[in-house]
């Protein structure tokens, strides 16, 4: 890899991490760029996950002590995430990642539609205590999405944010803060699996991880400075763009293969 390519990667990872603290879907941007520069798919997935761990730490720090992280649910959410993300990381060895963009793009379109249909969700603290069914569904969603997050991560936090808003009744800033904390454990556990498999490029991972750590801190402070309504607008705009872009590329790929 040339110095210019490395600088381009650093710039992409830095910018993606700033905005993805709010929106998620970092890997939908970073992994394709890594593949474009000729990095082998499994190495790209593993090294990206390594960098995401540092971004998640950086993105969580601004929220500590601000009263927006759901510490009550956090222990169980972390346990479910650790188990499911390990399962997801193991799937990298047996499932081709090419099949995932179509699934995640459709899922994000559904999220965008549901979010527009429920415009008030996430704008203010819910006065209604989530039903037991919704509470259980939130934990199930955490586990199922954790499998996907450990496998690829692109869109994982995006969908998890939507799930916590709709099922747990969190505001946008609460969901963003809580998912960032959880994503530390998702990315870390998956990274450890990839390290055991020997597919992490440590030099590249540290360089890109430091860029994402800084971007995460910046993104976290921006999230705290914005109202929930503005967070919603940014979230829906970026989710919509990424969803339709990913869907178009997936359909083009399938058509070319046929």
Q: What is the mean pLDDT of the chain?
A: 84
Tokens in use for 54? Answer: 């540092």
Taking the mean position of all CA atoms in its chain, how far away is CA 208?
16
CA-to-CA distance for 100 and 54, rounded, in angstroms? 24
Please report the pLDDT score of residue 156 as a whole number: 85
Q: Where are the domains of the chain?
A: 3-257
Please report the pLDDT score of residue 84 as a whole number: 94
Please report the pLDDT score of residue 149 as a whole number: 84
Please report the pLDDT score of residue 142 as a whole number: 96
Please report the pLDDT score of residue 103 as a whole number: 60
Please report the pLDDT score of residue 7 as a whole number: 94
**pTM for this entry:** 0.82
Name the one residue in this structure whose structure tokens are 């929930």. 228
Closest CA to 181 of 69, 100, 19: 69
Taking the mean position of all CA atoms in its chain, how far away is CA 55?
10
Q: Exposure of 240 by Cβ count < 10 A (0-12 exposed, 13-18 middle, 19+ buried)?
A: middle
Name the one residue in this structure whose structure tokens are 């597919």. 199
Residues with Cβ within 8 Å of residue 67, at least 6 apart in sequence:
none
Please identify every stretch of the chain with a pLDDT value under 50, giving residue numbers as ranges.
none
CA-to-CA distance for 247 and 106, rounded, in angstroms? 7
């Amino acid at each position: 890899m040339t110095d210019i390519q490395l600088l381009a990667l650093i710039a992409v990872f830095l910018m993606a991490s700033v905005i993805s603290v709010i929106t998620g879907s970092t890997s939908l941007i970073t992994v394709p760029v890594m593949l474009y520069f000729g990095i082998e798919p499994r190495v790209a997935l593993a090294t990206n996950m390594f960098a995401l761990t540092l971004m998640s730490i950086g993105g969580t720090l601004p929220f500590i002590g601000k009263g927006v992280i759901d510490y009550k649910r956090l222990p169980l959410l972390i346990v479910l995430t650790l188990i499911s993300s390990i399962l997801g990381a193991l799937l990298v060895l047996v499932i081709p990642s090419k099949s995932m963009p179509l699934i995640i793009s459709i899922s994000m379109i559904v999220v965008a539609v549901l979010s527009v249909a429920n415009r008030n969700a996430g704008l203010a603290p819910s006065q209604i205590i989530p039903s037991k069914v919704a509470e259980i569904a939130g934990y199930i969603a955490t586990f199922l999405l954790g499998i996907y997050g450990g496998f690829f991560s692109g869109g994982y936090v995006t969908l998890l944010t939507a799930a916590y808003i709709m099922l747990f009744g969190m505001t946008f800033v609460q969901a963003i803060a809580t998912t960032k904390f959880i994503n530390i454990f998702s990315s870390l556990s998956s990274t450890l699996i990839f390290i055991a498999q020997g597919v992490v490029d440590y030099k590249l991972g540290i360089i890109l991880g430091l860029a994402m750590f800084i971007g995460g801190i910046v993104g976290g402070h921006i999230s705290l400075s914005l109202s929930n309504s503005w967070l919603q607008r940014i979230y829906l705009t970026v989710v919509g763009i990424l969803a339709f872009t990913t869907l178009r590329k997936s359909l083009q790929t399938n058509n070319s293969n046929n």
